[in-house]
Chains A and B, each alone.
Chain A
Amino acid sequence: MQKWRATRRLLLNSYSSKSRFDHPRSNPISDHSTTISRSSSGFESWTSRIHYRHFATAMIQRNPLFSTLNSDDINYFKGILGEKNVIEDEDTLLFANTDWMRKYKGSSKLLLQPRTTQEVSEVLKYCNSRRLAVVPQGGNTGVVGGSVPVFDEVIINVGSMKQVISFDKVSGVLVCEAGCILENLVSFLDNQGFIMPLDLGAKGSCQIGGNVSTNAGGLRLVRYGSLHGTVLGIEAVLANGDVLDMLGTLRKDNTGYDLKHLFIGSEGSLGIVTKVSILTPPKLSSVNLAFLACKDYSSCQKLLFEAKRRLGEILSAFEFLDNESLNLALNHLEGVRNPLPPAMHNFYVLIETTGSDETYDKEKLEAFLLRSMEGGLISDGVIAQDINQASSFWRIREGVPEALMKAGAVYKYDLSLPVETMYNLVAEMRTKLGNSAKVIGFGHLGDGNLHLNISTPQYDDAILAQIEPFVYEWTSKHRGSISAEHGLGLMKANMIFYSKSRETVQLMASIKKLMDPNGILNPYKVLPHSIVSYS
């Protein structure tokens, strides 16, 4: 038995060390967020390489109405949470103050780790009465500066609230606390024969409360829809400490305004999510994955059109990356190889199917692919024959953001656009920037979500000036969204008008004002600073 395990280990550690299924942590960075190695020894070198973009904070003034922390406050928190859960340690705070992309850094002096909803409530009630600003933080894997303080906001992390409260095997409804790490929920459900309706590269660190608060998308959205559909209930704590119990487990509930949706995607600016009830689909045994090459973007589109019709009921992911993205992954990620015979292709597509009948699904996928190849939509392709091969294909797609980080500075844009015109932006950006930067495009083609990334050796304001506001204007002109799944955070709080009308944003501001009159919850983020004024 020992040897048997040793063999498996050997296999895992050799050519499959990047297995997505076995080592999600070795695949830390996705387009959403990341796991970063948080060992204290590694941290020294990590911080020394930090090059923050202070441009964001440079333009913002600390809200003078906010109080500053004093020793009475700290003693009060210790009284509620106990000494151990009130953290002032500098190393820990350095981490909590910094986002994983090393772009945003706050200067908070306090991290609180409540263990119950009641504690969250007491903390917020106190902060509200004292006008102490707070930033709710989950796995700190966001990419828009939404989960770190801008100035000295108190960090509240519900990572200690990590209990699964209940699971109903008939309905598939999971109720759990907000601090549950996504991957732990995935393993919990796996034992029950279910899966989480969302999957993202950061699953080893990100917390479900953060996923819900940011309305995280990910790879399976094309199949299971957004969290607005799968989240059935939420318990959240408002700024004044009131606990909103909306933790329903019903699929249908038309009684008044469905307020839980306000907490999905509002990035902790309206309340802190403490519990979540979520509908989970059954785990199906037959998963197939193909890695395909297409000669042009129009073929990718046609392939999507056909896949939706011919693979409809089993299609579970449709992702694309351009040739530049693939090269980046091949050059910067260890152990990654091109699954296809060497040849120049302009685009690559991953099609995943999930169903209940291995033989039927495989035949169906093969027939579809062969047909598409004969029709010229696909130039070449491979089908994973085992899970290890599937993992290595996914590693390429999921590893692109990590490769970008290794390549130098990166300007990331997460856009929803009509699929038809989506890639034109990448092409225009390339023409605009010429040789000064590497422009790459990849993302969730099935959801009309482009991840436009511009890679340069180091951050350069001149390059930034060429990208912004051009990218936002272009997106606005095509009626796209400047934030598809990453959120607005600090990075894009002032850009909201590119995607939302003045009237809409006004109403958002009124809601914010109503729910958080002192504006203590995640200040300076989501909504434009001009519109959120406090007296």
Chain B
Amino acid sequence: MKIMVAVKRVIDYAVKIRVKPDKTGVETQNVKMSMNPFCEIALEEALRIKEAGMASEVVAVSMGPAQCVDTLRTGLAMGADRAIHVDATGPLYPLSVAKLFKALVELEKPGLLILGKQAIDDDCNQTGQMVAGLLGWPQGTFASKVVLDKEKQLATVDREVDGGLETLCMDLPAVITTDLRLNQPRYATLPNIMKAKSKVIKKYTPQELNVEIKSDLEVLQVTEPPKRKAGVIVSSVDELIDKLKNEAHVI
């Protein structure tokens, strides 16, 4: 079985986000870009499944500008066998990405598609669900535990839901999206970085995959959240009560 994993290139989550002065988006020039942390978890899970002998190959896929290749190299250095880069320059929304994945799945025929539950840049949390819908595959989203049964071609997925865990059992092929506590991703070791250099990254354009990139959404403007006001030190309990009553209107 082959596993396909989505890896997205995003602004490193430790970077302080700055909104562009013209409010068209966030600043990405001279900003550290890294693999989306949920995608790292997705890739780690795929690698563990392969190492457990349940899969034969892990293919990492990234979509976006040419620099996505760097993110794919990281994926290859973690242990993915090969990679696919869908070269697209404009903005990509979840539905377009899902359609591109559908096309790639039809080409590559993986038995499992693993994605992060969401990307930390746009926080859409839609791609996994949409691609499952387009493919007509079952989906296990927000996975905190994944167990595969090779013989019966089944996946058992624990999902973290409000108030506890939900366990789903589904037939393969399936779509799984990963939550934070699923695993702890590995580091890229020097021997693996070396090996990654000779691994293949295949390039497609959306046209080659017969997907038209368009969106019904338009970003009007991006603004920073309002700045938190500095607190005040009150001098007495009475003043506090007065402020809570008359200024904050909470009591």
Contact = CB atoms under 8 A, between A and B. Distances in A.
Do these two chains really belong together in a complex? yes
Contact of A359 (B30, B70, B77, B180): B70
A10 B180 contact: yes
B190 A4 contact: no
A207 interface: no
A14 B181 contact: yes
A3 B121 CA distance: 11
A387 B191 CA distance: 21
B190 A3 contact: no
A382 B190 contact: yes
Contacts of A3: 123
Nearest to B31: A285
A1 interface: yes
Contacts of A366: 193
Interface in B93-121: 118, 120
Interface in B188-207: 188-191, 193-194
Contacts of B180: 10-11, 14-15
B156 interface: no
Given A3-B123, A285-B32, A386-B34, A340 B13 contact: no
Chain A CB within 10 Å, residue with most, of B77, B187, B194: B187
A340 B123 contact: no
Contacts of A10: 180
B15 A370 contact: no
Interface residues of A, number: 41
B74 A11 contact: no
Interface string A8-37: 101110111001011000000000000000
B236 interface: no
A355 to B, nearest CB: 12
Interface in A417-467: none
B120 A341 contact: no
Interface stretch (A112-120, A302-310, A373-381): A373-381
B190 A380 contact: yes
B12 interface: yes
Given A370-B190, A382-B190, A387 B118 contact: no
Given A7-B120, A19-B14, A387 B188 contact: no
B187 A389 contact: yes
A383 B190 contact: yes
Chain B CB within 10 Å, residue with most, of A21, A22, A383: A383
Chain A CB within 10 Å, residue with most, of B15, B77, B193: B193
Given A15-B184, A386-B35, A380 B120 contact: no
Given A14-B181, A15-B184, A387 B15 contact: yes
B37 interface: yes
Chain A CB within 10 Å, residue with most, of B14, B184, B194: B14
Interface string A180-206: 000000000010000000000000000
A373 B31 contact: no
Contacts of B35: 385-386
Contacts of B70: 358-359
Contacts of A7: 118, 120, 123
A337 B186 CA distance: 11
B225 interface: yes
Given A4-B123, A21-B14, A381 B189 contact: yes
A251 B193 CA distance: 43
A421 B225 CA distance: 55
A475 interface: no
Nearest to B33: A358
Contact of B120 (A8, A14, A391): A8
Contact of A385 (B15, B30, B31, B77): B77
A521 B181 CA distance: 55
A1 B121 CA distance: 10
Chain B CB within 10 Å, residue with most, of A19, A382, A386, A391: A386
Contacts of A4: 120, 123
B190 A385 contact: no
A292 B188 CA distance: 12
A292 B191 CA distance: 12
Given A11-B13, A19-B14, A385 B123 contact: no
Contacts of A5: 225
A388 B188 contact: no
Contacts of B225: 1, 5
Given A7-B118, A7-B123, A11-B180, A341 B189 contact: yes
B105 to A, nearest CB: 26
A369 interface: yes
Contacts of A378: 190
Given A8-B120, A370-B190, A386-B13, 12 more contacts: A3-B123, A7-B118, A337-B184, A339-B187, A340-B187, A358-B70, A373-B191, A373-B194, A382-B190, A386-B35, A387-B15, A388-B37
Interface of A: 1, 3-5, 7-8, 10-12, 14-16, 19, 21-22, 190, 285, 287, 292, 337, 339-341, 358-359, 366, 369-370, 373, 378, 380-389, 391
Interface of B: 12-16, 30-32, 34-35, 37, 70, 74, 77-78, 118, 120, 123, 180-181, 184, 187-191, 193-194, 225
